[in-house]
Structure formats: structure tokens, C-alpha cells
Structure 1
Amino acid sequence: RKGETGTTVVFASSFSRTETTETGTEIEQDVPFLKAYTVFNTDQIAGLNGRFDDTAPGEDPMSRIGDAGRFFANTGALIRHGGSAAYYAAQRDYIQMPCLDAFRD
């Protein structure tokens, strides 16, 4: 709709490119890239006629937590629990998570 403001999101990925050196050797290089897009919430767009409405029944919150727990366990990341803040400690390569009560939503 006219006057709505979108949000910028960034897509990060890479692609492989093969180059031939002066000696004739082929070298495959990974080329990283970023692509920015402006996105809008469906509430901001006229004419969708309900095509993207979320009509699925709400998922049980405990089941969502279990699914998220399995996802993070499969990443192999070291996750520590406790404290009052959520953060990633790059130098020691671990994720710190406070108690569930510390989160508003």
C-alpha cells in the first residue's frame, strides 16, 4: 500500500568460480556475496485476498521448544545455560543462554 515502509533483509551466500591461471592450472574459488532486499509484512500489502493468511492451527509451544532443542543439538554448537544474557562468545566458541524466564517472548 502507498506510504508503507519495508524492512531491509540481507541474503548471504557464495558461489564457486573456476579460473585458469597463467600456467594453465584451473583453480576453483568460493566467491561470497551479499544481496539486499526490501520486504513487507503481508498486512502492508493490498490485494493479496488472504492468499498468505496463516490459518494453520497453532502449534503446541512445548512441541516447538522440543523441535528447536533438536535443531540446536544437531548443529554441534556448545550451548551453556545460565546467567542473565544471551550471547555468542567468539573467542571461546560457545553460545550462552539464560534461563527461559529471562526472555519476554
Structure 2
Amino acid sequence: MPSALLAGALTLLLLFAGTAAHASRAGTVILSGQECGYIMLNTGQGQVLLKLIRGEAPKPGDRLEASGPLPTSDFADLTNRRTQEPLTVWVDMVDRSSNRALGRYGQYCN
């Protein structure tokens, strides 16, 4: 019986670890400026400011998925889960602790 309990606990731990890793690679669109081309994304890394380079602009509430963490000042390929369409973006800022990304979004889109 203890081995079955241990196996069950290990399975739950692996499932949780997989979910946590997956969550850090996906984010929810908070703001998407159709006219300015910037996207504000809420992720496990914090708020991320993206410049849309290629693809259809996502809508607020869309979930975007990356193949890995989003690096600042670099290009990244994402997939919009709602449409299954690919996006290429420039990662302008990853803001882990404050509202700097939101302020910069306001500067770019107003």
C-alpha cells in the first residue's frame, strides 16, 4: 500500500511540475492595440510588452503560447490558442515586479 501511495504522490508532483512549466510559456492578452501594434501579455514571468511583427493581432483574453521563456529585446514566435495562428513578435519588455510595461504601453499607444 505505501508504494501505491508513493506512486500516486509522484504522479501528482510530475503533473504539477508540467503544468507550472507550461504556465510560464503561456500568457493572456490584457491589451492589444490594433492601431499601434503593441500587445500587453500577463504571464508567469510578469507583464510582457510585445510589438507585433507578423500575424493577426490577438484580442484581449486570447491565450498566447511560446516555445520557451520570452527573452527581452529579442524576437519570439507565439501561437494564438484561439485561432491556432502563429505570431512573430519583438519582446520589448518583461516586467516582473511593477507597472513599467503598462506605462510604456501607454506611451506607445496614446
Q: TM-score w.r.t. structure 2 length?
A: 0.22
- Which of the two has higher C-alpha Rg? 1
Which one scores higher on RCO, CA 8 angstroms, separation ≥ 6? 2
